[in-house]
């Protein structure tokens, strides 16, 4: 919303969700037309070995970078949670983001990622979904209680902003699940295109409304000060948000293994003919997670990670490749609705990919990782225990601070 402009951002969110829904169904239709059961084998049969290699690179990079971003989120959010424990020194190395990333990797993400069957993550995904709903409630509550006391930026309500293409990249990152769609499709009982379509429609509708609530509440609260990681905006002494941070950290830790499954499958298909022995299964998993962990320890700004992964990996996986495969495989007339939509998606995806990359490099997001936002000063007050007169006084001081800040 910050990059696109709030009204245009909402419209783009609906549009990206529709394109995601359409391309997910299109992908499975392409698999049915070609008689293939993986994304890689579909592209291999459609475009040969060069297409297979290109897809394998994208299909590996997207979930791998997602794993990096999840580590960044876990480190950022959980470190602030542990700093709120009474008597704990904020500078203690054992509550620092680096230690937390390493600890969560060894304790949770690595053991969960060692499963061989993605269906076994069903209960974990259910817990993650429940926590997401809880976090949304906290963000909505703070939009009401905190929002009126955070100064609004001058361009907060313009219809559109120049960086809208970067916003499409972030939204693509949020919605993409094409890289593991065949894994999920094969885990269904009696998988059919019709059953898959119903599942996708329901999932996308739920997802888009959750995203809209998050985006709206977050942006209405912080407007132009919104960070790539929304929880970086909240004050550290807010106990309700601290609980939300804990839930958020747990959610991304539980989501992490889904991405690891895909990276491991790509490696297995490219280098091991699709099958990993028990030993190589463990070795490949440990190697992928180790490298992702090391990278996440070196990067601490989430916004640029989301943008680049969105425009370089998510966009071709959503817009370009499913459409290109379907257009080549389908014998339907050119006036068929699926073909018309595919012809539209191809140039749009290419434009988002090229211009989004250029804009992400030339206009990177500001990142205040680990810093307390200006409106949390001067008194570090708790909104849950503050009188109305004190809030008004603090708001006036915050407005003075923002004039200096600008």
Report the chain's mean pLDDT, rounded to a whole number.
Answer: 85
Structurally, how many domains does the chain consist of? 1
* Residue 290: CATH number of its domain: 1.20.1740.10
Look up the domain containing 368 and give its range: 6-376
Residue 392 counted as domain residue: no
Q: Is the pLDDT score of 336 beyond 80?
A: yes
Kind plus residue range of the DSSP H or E element containing 353: helix 337-362
Residue 230 counted as domain residue: yes
State mean pLDDT over 335-351.
Answer: 91
pLDDT in tens, 312-325: 888 898 889 999 99
Burial of residue 141 (number of CB atoms within 10 Å: 0-12, 13-18, 19+): middle
State mean pLDDT over 49-73.
Answer: 91
pLDDT in tens, 99-139: 999 999 999 999 999 988 777 787 888 888 889 999 999 99
- The answer to which of 10-24, 31-45, 379-393 has the lowest mean pLDDT is 379-393
Q: What pLDDT score was predicted for residue 314? A: 86
Residue 347 counted as domain residue: yes
User: What percent of the chain is modeled with pLDDT above 90?
Assistant: 44
Q: What pLDDT score was predicted for residue 73? A: 87
Interatomic CA distance for residues 165 and 230, integer angstroms? 20
Q: How confident is the model at residue 390 (pLDDT cuts 50, 70, 90)?
A: very low
Q: What pLDDT score was predicted for residue 401? A: 39
Q: How confident is the model at residue 275 (pLDDT cuts 50, 70, 90)?
A: confident
Q: Is the pLDDT score of 369 beyond 70?
A: no
State mean pLDDT over 236-251.
Answer: 91
Q: How confident is the model at residue 346 (pLDDT cuts 50, 70, 90)?
A: very high
Closest C-alpha to 248, from 214, 201, 209, 290: 214
pLDDT in tens, 173-226: 889 888 889 888 988 888 899 999 999 999 999 999 999 999 999 999 999 888
Residue 403 counted as domain residue: no
Q: How confident is the model at residue 396 (pLDDT cuts 50, 70, 90)?
A: very low
Are the C-beta atoms of 359 and 164 separated by less than 8 Å? no
Strand, coil or helix: what is 189?
A: coil
Q: Is the pLDDT score of 30 beyond 80?
A: yes
Cα distances (Å, whole numbers) of residue 323 to 16, 37, 246: 15, 17, 39
Residue 406 counted as domain residue: no
Interatomic CA distance for residues 349 and 347, integer angstroms? 5
DSSP 250-277: HHHHHHHHHHHHHHHHHHHHHHSTT---
Residue 180 counted as domain residue: yes
Residue 393 counted as domain residue: no
Closest C-alpha to 313, from 44, 55, 20, 35: 55
Residue 85 counted as domain residue: yes
Q: What pLDDT score was predicted for residue 388? A: 36
Q: What pLDDT score was predicted for residue 203? A: 93
Closest C-alpha to 58, from 325, 296, 266, 285: 266
State mean pLDDT over 250-263.
Answer: 90
Cα torsion 294, 184, 268, 353: sign: negative
Closest C-alpha to 27, from 15, 16, 18, 36: 36
For the CA atoms of the chain, what is the radius of gyration?
22
According to DSSP, residue 110 is labeled H
């Amino acid at each position: 919303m910050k990059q696109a402009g709030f009204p245009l951002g909402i419209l783009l969110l609906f549009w990206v969700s529709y394109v995601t829904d359409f391309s997910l169904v299109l992908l499975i239709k392409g698999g049915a037309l070609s008689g293939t059961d993986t994304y890689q084998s579909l592209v291999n049969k459609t475009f040969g070995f060069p297409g297979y290699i290109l897809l394998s690179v994208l299909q590996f990079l997207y979930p791998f970078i997602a794993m990096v971003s999840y580590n960044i989120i876990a480190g950022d959010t959980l470190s602030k949670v542990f700093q709120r424990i009474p008597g704990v020194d904020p500078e203690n190395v054992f509550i620092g983001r680096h230690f937390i990333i390493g600890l969560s990797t060894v304790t949770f993400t690595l053991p969960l990622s060692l499963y061989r069957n993605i269906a076994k993550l069903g209960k974990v995904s259910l817990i993650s979904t429940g926590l997401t709903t809880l976090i949304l409630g906290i963000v909505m509550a703070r939009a009401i209680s905190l929002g009126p006391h955070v100064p609004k930026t001058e361009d907060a309500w313009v219809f559109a902003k120049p960086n809208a293409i970067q916003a499409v990249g972030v939204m693509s990152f949020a919605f993409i699940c094409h890289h593991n769609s065949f894994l999920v499709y094969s885990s269904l009982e009696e998988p059919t295109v019709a059953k898959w379509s119903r599942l996708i429609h329901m999932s996308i509708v739920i997802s888009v409304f959750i995203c809209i609530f998050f985006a709206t509440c977050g942006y209405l609260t912080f407007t132009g000060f919104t960070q790539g990681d929304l929880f970086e905006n909240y004050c550290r002494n807010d106990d309700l948000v601290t609980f939300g941070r804990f839930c958020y950290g747990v959610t991304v830790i539980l989501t992490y293994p889904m991405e690891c499954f895909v990276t491991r499958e790509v490696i297995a298909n490219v280098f091991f003919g699709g099958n990993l022995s028990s030993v190589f299964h463990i070795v490949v998993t440990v190697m992928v997670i180790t490298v992702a962990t090391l990278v996440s320890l070196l990067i601490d700004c989430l916004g640029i990670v989301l943008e680049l992964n969105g425009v370089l990996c998510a966009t071709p996986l959503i817009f370009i490749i499913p459409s290109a495969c379907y257009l080549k495989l389908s014998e339907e007339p050119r006036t068929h609705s699926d073909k018309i939509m595919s012809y539209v998606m191809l140039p749009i995806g290419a434009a988002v990919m090229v211009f989004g990359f250029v804009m992400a490099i030339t206009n990177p997001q500001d990142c205040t990782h680990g810093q307390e936002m200006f409106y949390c000063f001067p008194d570090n007050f708790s909104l849950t225990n503050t009188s109305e007169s004190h809030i008004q006084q603090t708001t006036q001081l915050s407005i003075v601070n923002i004039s200096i800040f600008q």
